[in-house]
């Protein structure tokens, strides 16, 4: 719990310009809500995405579960919004939520085609990237307006 308090406090002091972080219910250290601006030059750049981070009681020895509450059309996100845990690689207790936020943003820029949860999006990304971009942009405009 102290680790989560410190991480949350650090992120409140050292603001990340592309993310706004709050505790679920105003005080739940084990569940964070993050508003993430779509990365520039990605199909998601014109959107803001609410992403939920649930930390298990074993954190930092077990990685958080990351779920997009705002619908996103992405190869590594299933239809319920769950982000594929494999995109984090090998989890280490040295990693912080700030690192996970960066990984989420990076996967929005460059999906991992090794582990697609949305097979249709993954196939379109690998076969016709420009069509993938159009579809992801349209989905973003519909669901994740700034």
At residue 128, the 3 state secondary structure works out as: coil
- Residue 34 annotated to the active site: no
The number of domains in the chain is 1
Higher-confidence residue: 50 or 85? 50
User: For the chain, where are the E strands, in sequence order?
Assistant: 19-24, 28-37, 48-54, 65-68
Q: Output the pLDDT for position 106.
A: 95
User: Quick one: pLDDT at residue 26?
Assistant: 87
Among candidate residues 44, 60, 61, 21, the one with its CA nearest the CA of residue 106? 44
User: What pLDDT is stored for residue 133 in this prediction?
Assistant: 98
Which residues touch 141 (CB under 8 Å, ≥6 apart)? 46, 47
Q: What pLDDT does residue 55 have?
A: 97
Q: What range defines the domain where residue 88 resides?
A: 2-143
pLDDT, position 99:
95
Look at residue 146 and tell me whether its pLDDT is greater than 80: no
* pLDDT for residue 76 is more than 90: yes
Q: What is the mean pLDDT of residues 44-57?
A: 97
User: Residue 31 sits in a domain of what CATH number?
Assistant: 3.10.110.10
- The pLDDT, as a whole number, for residue 84 is 93
Kindly name the residue from 84, 87, 101, 124 that is annotated as catalytic: 84
């Amino acid at each position: 719990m102290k680790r989560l308090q410190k991480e949350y406090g650090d992120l409140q002091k050292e603001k990340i310009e592309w993310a706004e972080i709050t505790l679920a219910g105003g005080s739940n250290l084990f569940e964070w809500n993050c508003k993430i601006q779509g990365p520039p030059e990605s199909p998601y750049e014109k959107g803001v995405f609410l992403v939920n981070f649930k930390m298990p009681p074993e954190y930092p020895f077990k990685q958080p579960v990351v779920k997009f509450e705002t619908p996103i059309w992405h190869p590594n996100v299933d239809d319920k919004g769950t982000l594929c845990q494999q995109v984090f690689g090998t989890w280490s207790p040295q990693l912080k939520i700030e690192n996970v936020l960066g990984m989420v943003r990076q996967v929005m820029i460059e999906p991992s085609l090794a582990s697609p949860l949305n097979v249709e999006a993954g196939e379109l990304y690998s076969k016709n990237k420009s069509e993938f971009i159009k579809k992801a942009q349209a989905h973003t405009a519909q669901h994740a307006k700034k």
